[in-house]
Amino acid sequence: MNKLLSTTAAAFAVALLFTAGNTHAGDKAAAADEQALRKLEREWVDAENRHDAVALQSILDDKFIATFGAAKPLDKDAFIKDVTAGPVDPTVSQELSDQTIVVAGDTAVVVETDTERKVRDGKPSAAVYRFTVTYIRRGGHWVALAEHGVAANP
């Protein structure tokens, strides 16, 4: 009986160590994924501000689709054409805030606020949007699969 009890206790202790080790490793991986996604979000808005179509090509998945409010969806090419149209406005900046990131394996969802500031007719203006972005991991890298945005009340 003592042998059975000690064997069971040993097995339980090993299971606890295994679980604790995997949880810690999982937490580190999730934190690394969240950090990578925050960095990618920053690179995305910077690419939009610079009208950098090449950077956007690498950030967005080939199957990317974007919707804004109730407007017609845009595929990757139409989205890039839309955000890079016209000359670069050096007064435009985007501030990301209120980010919530959920990572589930090779899929992640980012919900955030994007405040876009610029100078129009010599006067500063701001527009606030709420975005939900779905990312997938392809070839070991995160890419944006879908984005939905709506104007938020400032």
136 phi/psi in degrees, rounded to 5: -130, 155
Sole residue written with tokens 């604790």 = 20
Specify the CATH number for 2-151; select among 1.10.3720.10, 3.40.50.2300, 3.10.450.50, 3.40.50.300. Answer: 3.10.450.50
Query: Looking at per-residue confidence, does 25 or 87 come out higher?
Result: 87
| Whether the Cβ atoms of residue 37 and residue 101 lie closer than 8 Å to each other | yes
Over the chain, what is the mean pLDDT?
Answer: 87
First to last CA, the chain: 69
Kindly tell me if the per-residue pLDDT of 143 is higher than 80: yes
74 phi/psi in degrees, rounded to 5: -115, 135
Sole residue written with tokens 């990317």 = 64
Give this prediction's pTM: 0.81
Interacting residues of 43 by C-beta distance below 8 A, sequence separation 6+:
55, 59
CA 31 to chain centre: 13
Mean pLDDT of 57-74: 97
Query: Looking at per-residue confidence, does 43 or 7 come out higher?
Result: 43
